[in-house]
Chain A
């Protein structure tokens, strides 16, 4: 079970993770994008932190994160992650705890949100390349009766593998796609930040145990 306090903790910790990885994400983005992903995510999550309220239910927390990201990130990650959180938020209005099934829905909705906004599919060197494997592994683990921490561990491993698998891909979306074949050999910064988001959720649940 995931409580609204843990969801809030997830956002707080992600903000710290984004700050730590600011340079790293920016470097990845410098290779194939416009070298702002790290700054943008850091700024967006800092803004989310300011709006975070401990009393909010899960839906309200996710919605406030969505609003902060679409307003403050500035680049494409803003509307993409913003829509992701907004889609998830709509499913959990008024809820203060999420079951394993709910967390799976959260991931499913996240994937839907990114697909809808970015009109992208797996294999195009985007956020989805780590997010879709995360969702699918979570779903498979839960069907096998694994607990929430285990499901999230599986999801994180899959996200990490998906992230690494973006290195040989040709970018098909966003500014990186202008580079065509020259985008080969670089890890996608969006897939990387998505991995960090999933991994942080795993850590929050693992710490609680």
Chain B
């Protein structure tokens, strides 16, 4: 494995590039950013001592490649290498390659394996000018496989074909074999190229549904094909579409790709609802700008340079905001924007035009950028096409600064369903939603910042439809179902009629839910329960407050620890918790200490590889063994408690001993704060998650030591049913409506009642209106769910009678199967709402 050091005059560039390299190398290789200088007034430049330190940080690797952006940076990188001891020097090379392409290619090749020479060669051949791709004649000469080679063909099903991550996985797998391996794109009738080279594989432009031919000759040729088959079987680790509304029965084993069959495209349900309307593709276009003669070209160039500087400052602020919002995706997008903005080719071409044609800056900029965008979009490669969108976005930003006119939100004159590749958080304010009936995207996830914001929109939203989104015809009526997460691109009259009826009922229900959402959740017979929201980042505060949630029942803090290289410090965490307290404006906040481990590993905390991470060293188990990290978090939570009602909750508790140990750590953290003269609430409520069967069985004993319980149904169900949440083959068993799970929930609630502590629920079941009768009947005090579910939950709750639910719960728990429980519940709900 080869380490990488990135040297750039701009720290933003080297930091951004490091993140991209981390993603390409799957965080498995050491990459250090050594850009810029520690001079607040003059941050552009390079510092050989900083570079030296960066090299030393990765010297533990088998070798180190240093990449530098321009001349002076190269000189300083050489100087840094010269300062190493001779033995160290031999491991380090300055790699003369284009910075961005070189680093990314090196990251992939290093993750795949190979000597320092191999990695260097990949980096140096990484760059193909955009105009050259797709041209057959520019291809590297093909190789001819030997006669004894083992040949086989495969079809590639991943949405992006063999690009980015899938290509990296493929090349990594090939590099683990001794055989000489060559690959060709059968569909495009290309020649063979070396399958161990990421750049060569990329030149094949393997797209979804292309067939590849692989030839392997050598001692492990058969294993090569086994490895490829394994990758194909796992669809290169690309997650199949998941989702569906929380109230849907457990999803069927997801063996399909994201595409679906016939005219139906499957995606991820982001926001429930139904829409039928003409499709409209959203595309960033640069508006025409009038040409104008300028007299003082020098002043015009200065005006242009100032606009670039303003744009840079704006983008840097957006990156900063993305970082505080822990939105990695947002940060990466804007870092890519900075790279375009800093592209000297574009800026120089614009300056030239201003001088030569005496053109106004906005006209010169618009024309130059639009031509570049068009050439990107004209290429076959979807990854390069996407670059065109980024560039267009940068183009718009600079135009807005130059012309001083804020772009009006994009308005649609007639009802439309918007279709787009990705939706970014910054897109939402640029759209006028008055005629938007629905929204769907090719890519995007529920947990992204955009996913969270979109879940608060008043229109149905489906993300992640995959490449088939391109089959949607502009202007044609399509049918979007935000409950099942599907889009019908060619609906028949019957389907349209059914969807319109559903839409009317849904709109009606939504209107009623909106009207009652700020009222307390009260049953028909006057029983009140608390409705709370789950949260994992500050960006959700707006949605939570607007949803009518009365408190936050679960603030997941593990996300503060992910996607970074070291643990967040006390002050950073305190700042976040305090901001949450302030944003909630008096609403109580339950902060759960980090649940690291299981399916949420954090590289810098050095957890061992575990055969069974879900049954392993996670949650409170991990915290009690890492008291330094634990104390830091506890101090931050306690300090936030001096500003408003904060409660602390421990995840993954199994025994009384763990709880008493955790309480001791809280006392230790309190003593440290007292020693430092810092404020906290000494009466802070301390609670635990009940998600391990052992905790539920001994809930009586545990209740004596805590102020509240919160039942985590997601893990509880997998542990009670002994069925892995991530394994589609046993997905049918993961059903919280199974009487076994319901009885464990009942025991937990009863133990809490006897001990006179409150008990809530923060798993997916809590927000499911279908589960409400049973949970209300069993006596649950607090229901914590996604903010978007709150209004409808309150509405359905208001139809229930607590007395009837109590009787119904007894009855339901005596049933034999989950299916029976669901069936009876549906009948009960129908009777209640009549």
Contact = CB atoms under 8 A, between A and B. Distances in A.
B14 to A, nearest CB: 14
Given A70-B49, A70-B76, A117-B78, A76 B71 contact: yes
Contacts of A74: 9, 37, 39, 42, 44-47, 72
Contacts of A174: 71-72
Contacts of A72: 37, 39, 47
Interface in B30-76: 37, 39, 42, 44-50, 71-72, 75-76
Contact of A76 (B37, B44, B47, B75): B75
A83 B49 contact: no
A40 B72 CA distance: 12
Nearest to A177: B71
Interface residues of A, number: 21
B310 interface: no
B685 interface: no
A120 B479 CA distance: 68
Contacts of A70: 47-49, 76, 79-80
B69 to A, nearest CB: 13
B82 interface: yes
Contact of B76 (A39, A43, A79, A118): A79
Contact of B47 (A39, A71, A118, A175): A71
B72 A79 contact: yes
B76 A78 contact: yes
Contact of A83 (B42, B44, B46, B82): B82
Contacts of A83: 79, 82
Given A67-B49, A71-B50, A76 B79 contact: no
Nearest to B37: A74
A80 interface: yes
User: What is the predominant secondary structure among interface residues of chain A facing chain B?
Assistant: helix
A175 B37 contact: no
A204 B50 CA distance: 33
Contacts of A75: 45, 72
B309 to A, nearest CB: 15
A118 B75 contact: yes
Interface residues of B, number: 19
Given A39-B42, A43-B39, A71 B49 contact: yes
A75 B48 CA distance: 11
Nearest to B47: A71
B301 to A, nearest CB: 14
Contacts, number: 61
Nearest to A76: B72
Contacts of A162: none
Interface string A76-89: 10111011000000
Interface in B585-637: none
A106 interface: no
Interface in A163-184: 174-175
Nearest to A82: B79
Contacts of B44: 74
A82 B48 contact: yes
Nearest to A118: B75
A40 B75 CA distance: 15
Contacts of B39: 43, 72, 74
Interface in A61-116: 67, 70-76, 78-80, 82-83
A4 B9 CA distance: 35
Interface string A15-53: 000000000000000000000100110010000000000
Contacts of A117: 75, 78-79
A104 to B, nearest CB: 24
A184 B682 CA distance: 76
Most buried by A among B44, B49, B76: B76
Interface in B470-518: none
B75 A73 contact: no
Interface string B704-742: 000000000000000000000000000000000000000
B56 to A, nearest CB: 15
A39 B37 CA distance: 14
A78 B46 contact: yes
B48 A78 contact: yes
A43 B46 CA distance: 13
B93 to A, nearest CB: 17
Most buried by B among A36, A73, A75, A79: A79
Contacts of A67: 49
Given A39-B42, A67-B49, A74-B42, A79 B79 contact: yes
Nearest to B45: A74
Contacts of A175: 71
Contacts of B50: 71
A40 B9 CA distance: 13
A72 B36 CA distance: 10
Nearest to B44: A74
Contact of B72 (A39, A43, A71, A78): A78
A82 B47 CA distance: 11
A75 B79 CA distance: 13
Contacts of B42: 36, 39, 43, 74
A100 to B, nearest CB: 29
A27 to B, nearest CB: 16
Interface in B74-94: 75-76, 78-80, 82
A74 B47 CA distance: 6
Nearest to B36: A74
A207 B80 CA distance: 37
A40 B46 CA distance: 11
Contacts of B76: 70, 78-79
Contacts of B71: 76, 174-175
Contacts of B75: 76, 78-80, 117-118
Contacts of A80: 75
Contacts of A39: 42
Interface in A144-176: 174-175
A67 B42 CA distance: 19
A25 to B, nearest CB: 15
Most buried by A among B39, B49, B50, B75: B75
A83 B9 CA distance: 19
Given A39-B42, A43-B42, A74-B42, A79 B47 contact: no
Given A36-B45, A78-B76, 5 more contacts: A71-B48, A74-B37, A74-B47, A79-B78, A117-B78
Interface of A: 36, 39-40, 43, 67, 70-76, 78-80, 82-83, 117-118, 174-175
20 contacts: A36-B42, A39-B42, A70-B49, A70-B79, A70-B80, A71-B47, A71-B49, A72-B47, A74-B47, A78-B46, A78-B47, A78-B48, A78-B75, A79-B48, A79-B76, A79-B79, A80-B75, A82-B48, A117-B75, A175-B71
